[in-house]
Amino acid sequence: MSTASICVFCGSRSGAKPEYHAAATALGAEIAAAGWRLVYGAGDIGLMGAVAHGTQDAGGDTFGVIPEHLLRREVGKTDLTRFIVTENMHERKKLMFMNCNAVVMLPGGAGSLDEFFEVLTWRQLDLHEKPIVLLNIAGYWDPLIALLDHVIAQGFADASLRDFITIEDSVERAVATLTRLL
């Protein structure tokens, strides 16, 4: 067992397919089973709530960070092992990233994309070497993967950009990847 911390970026909504919620819950349970700590956005709704409940129900350690202005909107989950309220989104992202050893991205919206592209850009700029796992549940991230390939094909990034992320289509494969990389 490792004492690593896994930052999970994901939606504050559950999305259109039940597979997304199931994957979030399973990922949380697997994080706990591996002895890792969940680091996430501290919400109690959508996929954020599912990953936190999955971790807690399996006896895992949780570290949530939420900006003050989202406490009501994302229903701040105050029963976490560690619950931090920040002034703004920038502080939230910084604290989440500083307190993790790897990043996993479940389905989500604009906020999840913002978080993903920030850590991917930092990796591209050699500001970190933390693993980034894109959890492509039910093909949700296929358009994003195509966009990254397009950016590379059009000369706006080196092919190495794809080397900075590992794409997995199941929680089991994502956990196996994290186990190998941590």
CB atoms within 10 A of CB 156: 9
Query: Taking phi first (over 0 means left), then psi (-120 to 50 degrees means alpha), and beta for anything else, what does residue 34 get?
Result: alpha
Structure tokens at 88: 């703004």
Amino acid code (one letter) for 164: F
C-alpha span between 157 and 155 (Å, rounded):
6
C-alpha span between 128 and 60 (Å, rounded):
26
Structure tokens at 36: 């890792």
Helix, strand, coil percent values for the chain (each to nearest 5): 50, 20, 35
Amino acid code (one letter) for 93: K
Whether the Cβ atoms of residue 105 and residue 87 lie closer than 8 Å to each other? no
Q: Which of 63, 72, 106, 181 is nearest to 115 (CA)?
A: 106
For helices 18-33 and 171-181, angle between their N-to-C axes, nearest 10 degrees: 30
The percent of residues above 70 in pLDDT, for the chain, comes to: 99
What structural domains and CATH numbers belong to the chain?
5-181 (3.40.50.450)
Amino acid code (one letter) for 180: R
Question: For 80-125, how does the pLDDT look when each residue is reduced to its tens digit (9 = 90+)?
Answer: 999 999 999 999 999 999 999 999 999 999 999 999 999 999 999 9
Alpha-carbon Rg for the chain in angstroms: 15
Mean pLDDT of the chain: 96
Question: For 138-172, how does the pLDDT look when each residue is reduced to its tens digit (9 = 90+)?
Answer: 999 999 999 999 999 999 999 999 999 999 999 99
3-state secondary structure (DSSP) of residue 34: coil
Structure tokens at 180: 């190998």
Per-residue pLDDT averaged across 28-51, rounded?
97
Q: What pLDDT shows up at residue 22?
A: 98
DSSP state of 5: E
